Amino acid sequence: MAKLGFDPENLPVDSIGSGGAVPKAHLNPEWIKNRFSNPPVWKPEINAEPAFVHRDRWIPAAVLVPLVDRNNGLSLMLTQRALHMHDHPGQISFPGGRVDLTDSTRIETALREMEEEVGVDRSHVEILGTLPEYRTGSGYRVTPVVSIVTPPFDIHTNPDEVAEVFEVPFSFFMDGSNYQVRSAEFPNGAGKRTFYTVPYKNRFVWGATAGMLRNLYHFLKA
pLDDT (tens digit per residue) in 148-160: 999 999 999 999 9
For position 5, what pLDDT does the model report? 72
* Angle formed by the axes of helices 29-37 and 207-221, nearest 10°: 80
Between CA 131 and CA 145 the distance in angstroms is 7
Between CA 19 and CA 3 the distance in angstroms is 33
Contact 221, 19 (CB under 8 A): yes
Between CA 53 and CA 4 the distance in angstroms is 11
Terminal Cα distance for the chain, rounded: 36
pLDDT (tens digit per residue) in 51-104: 766 667 899 999 999 999 999 999 999 999 876 556 556 789 999 999 999 999
Q: Classify domain 26-169+208-221 at the CATH topology level.
A: Nucleoside Triphosphate Pyrophosphohydrolase (3.90.79)
pLDDT (tens digit per residue) in 97-154: 999 999 999 999 999 999 999 999 999 999 999 999 999 988 899 999 999 999 999 9
Between CA 32 and CA 155 the distance in angstroms is 25
Share above pLDDT 90 across residues of the chain, in percent, rounded to a whole number: 79
Short-list 65, 208, 199, 200, CA closest to 127: 65
For position 191, what pLDDT does the model report? 73
